[in-house]
Amino acid sequence: MTLTSEEQQPAPANGGGRFLDVRDLKVHFPTDDGLVKSVDGLSFHVERGRTLGIVGESGSGKSVTSLSVMGLHKRGAAKISGEILVDGQDVVASSDEEVRRMRGKRMAMIFQDPLSAMHPYYTVGDQIIEAYRIHNDVSKKKARTHAIEMLDRVGIPEPDRRVDAYPHQYSGGMRQRAMIAMALSCDPDLLIADEPTTALDVTVQAQILDLIRDLQREFNSAVIIITHDLGVVAELADDILVMYAGRSVEYGTAEQIFNEPEHPYTWGLLGSMPRFDRERSTRLLPIQGSPPSLINVPEGCPFHPRCRFEQNTRGLAKRERPELVDTGRGHFVACHMSQAQRQQIWRDEIKPKL
């Protein structure tokens, strides 16, 4: 099973209290076709002032995880177990009303597509004012001043004029800035960014990533950035969690994940990306096959049907699910191969070809 005891918790931290502490989270959706195990035993934590990157492909459960932290799953539709402690308060065990009060104030979220994530019929200003007034008992006028300040802070030119514009009158990058202004309007302690730059152009993406980094420094909040793009994570994250089929397969500091990754899936992700910063390789090294269905997650290690090194485990990977184990220095890996073996494969086979 997964880690529950304190010492076993991944701790690539700078000490201090864990602002967000997720323990053995399971999110299952009963459907007509069967039980969809979107998240199946996930543990991680984030401190204030730190950024956690959650990386995975579609269907890995990364977005479901973020919605659970926000308490946005309908209780009837999803079966959630485990603990999600936000500054000590458990989101899973709290009532709907308690979680609602936390949303926006303790934790806020920005989404992938800012055009569809903002209401088309209300002005950007109205939507920020609304967010601010939920948690702050102030007059509309005061809230408006605050909204203009926020827009100015996220780099919207002429904020006192743009505050009255509608989302469709903004450009893509400006919309995402406005989204960020809205999310930060109540000064949340935890900011979750779900693919915040996927819908944006490269040059705009760079601006938004810079903005998130600057704001985090300024507000000293904990940040979770969810993405499929390892490049984006490398830009922002202090720690990285690699998800596969609703589970964590590797968890460590950004340096550990990029410089000495130990899970074959992480290798696969790195090998699949054409590297902009290296000599052009003649061939990419893809992962064979496709991600599994979450209704029929493969027995044993969920990655084994796609793993090139599966035979190294002598069939163990087919039978038994590997646990996420600390290799020492707070670097957690869920793989049946021995650490020595993994390090050797990385050094001799994978790294030279990247």
Partner 1 sequence: MTATQTTGEHGPGSNPDGSLLSVSGLVKHFPIRQGLLQRQVAAVQAVDGVNFTVRKGETLSLVGESGCGKSTTGRLLTRLEEPTAGTIMFEGRDITHLRDGQMRPLRRDVQMIFQDPYSSLNPRHTVGKIVGAPFKLQHVEPEGGVKKAVQELLELVGLSPEHYNRYPHEFSGGQRQRIGIARTLALKPKLIVADEPVSALDVSIQAQVVNLLEDLQEELDLTYIFIAHDLSVVRHVSDRVAVMYLGKIVELADRETLYDRPMHPYTVALMSAVPVPDTKRRHERERIRLEGDVPSPINPPPACRFHTRCWKAQDKCRNEEPPLVELLPGHQVACHFPENAPQPTAEASTSAG
Partner 2 sequence: MVAYLIRRLLATIGLLFVVSVITFSIFFLVPKWAGATPDSMATRYVGRTATADVVHQTAVRLGFTDPFYVQYADWAKGLVAGRDFDMGTSIEHCPAPCLGYSFITAQPVLPDLLDRFTVTFSLAIGAAVIWVTAGISIGVLSALKRGSLVDRFSMVIALAGVSMPIFWTGLIALSFFSYRWGITAVGGAYTPFTQNPALWAWDLMLPWVTLALLFSAQYARLTRAGMLETMNEDYIRTARAKGLRERTVVTKHGLRGALTPLLTIFGLDFGLLIGGAVLTESAFGLNGLGKYAVDGIRANDLPKILGVTLFAALFVVIANLIVDLLYAVVDPRVRTK
CB 303 within 8 A of CB 72: no
Kindly tell me which of 184 and 333 has the beta carbon lying closer to partner 2: 184
Tell me the window of 177-185, 201-209, 259-267, 321-329 that interacts with partner 2 (CB under 8 A): 177-185
80 binds partner 2 (CB under 8 A): no
Q: How far is the CB of 62 from partner 1 (least distance, A)?
A: 12
11 binds partner 2 (CB under 8 A): no
- Report the residue from 70, 163, 180, 200 that binds partner 2 according to the rule CB under 8 A: 70
* Total residues at interface with partner 2 (CB under 8 A): 31
Dist CA 342 CA 233 (whole Å): 23
119 binds partner 2 (CB under 8 A): yes
Radius of gyration of the chain (CA): 21
- Report the residue from 79, 101, 213, 351 that binds partner 2 according to the rule CB under 8 A: 101
Q: How far is the CB of 333 from partner 1 (least distance, A)?
A: 18
Q: How far is the CB of 113 from partner 2 (least distance, A)?
A: 7
- Report the residue from 13, 72, 80, 297 that binds partner 2 according to the rule CB under 8 A: 72
Q: How far is the CB of 209 from partner 1 (least distance, A)?
A: 7
Binding site for partner 1 (CB under 8 A): 57-58, 171-174, 201-207, 209-210, 228-235, 254-255, 258-259, 268-277, 280-281, 283-288, 290-291
Best CA proximity match to 47, nearest among 8, 16, 68, 22: 16
Dist CA 262 CA 322 (whole Å): 13
- H or E stretch covering 342: helix 339-345
- H or E stretch covering 109: strand 107-110
Looking at the DSSP bridge assignments, the partners of residue 191 are 108, 223
Contacts of residue 300, defined as CB under 8 A and 6 or more positions apart, other chains included, come to 316, 317, 318, 319, 320, 321
Backbone angles phi, psi at 275, to 5 degrees: -95, 120
Kindly tell me which of 97 and 277 has the beta carbon lying closer to partner 1: 277
